[in-house]
Homo-oligomer: A and B are copies of this chain.
Amino acid sequence: MDGSVETAEAAAAAMWQADRACQALGMELLSIGVGVSEMAMTVQESMVNGHGICHGGYIFTLADSAFAYACNSRNLVTVAAGARIDFIRPARLDERLIASASVVHQGERSGLYDVAVNDASGHCVARFRGNSVTVGGPLVEDATHA
């Protein structure tokens, strides 16, 4: 996948500034690169059911967010067209989850990305595969000079 780390960082910074949803969930963007990203989220009280098990929707949301930053890293407005998630083991209250996204294939318009969601010990919580579609031009205009 073409692109530079500087451009990926500039695009991510622009996305993050406007990204109230990820901010509200306490996510952190740990790293960003060309076709890759890493995000973290800690399972909060509001994310669990009565047994202290994290709602799968929040695990998906973390994975989907990492996917979004990875597929926008070439600085072209790109959205999720669809995704599949497989849940491997439950996540519990206060666990810190790490989602690592990487490009499998990026065409001109459509892309395929994998995301692994692991707990702090590196055990797999879920695997996600997302289909992206590029729908617009640059997120940031002067990324190459940022």
Contact = CB atoms under 8 A, between A and B. Distances in A.
A127 B110 contact: no
Main secondary structure of the interface of A (DSSP, over half): mixed
Interface string A48-69: 1111001111101110110000
Contacts of A133: 110
A65 B49 CA distance: 11
A56 B60 CA distance: 9
Interface in A76-119: 79-88, 104-105, 107, 110, 112
Interface in A17-53: 17-22, 24, 45-51
Nearest to A53: B79
The list of the 6 closest CB pairs from A to B, nearest first, reads: A18-B50, A57-B61, A21-B55, A82-B86, A24-B46, A84-B84
6 contacts: A19-B49, A20-B49, A57-B58, A57-B61, A88-B105, A131-B131
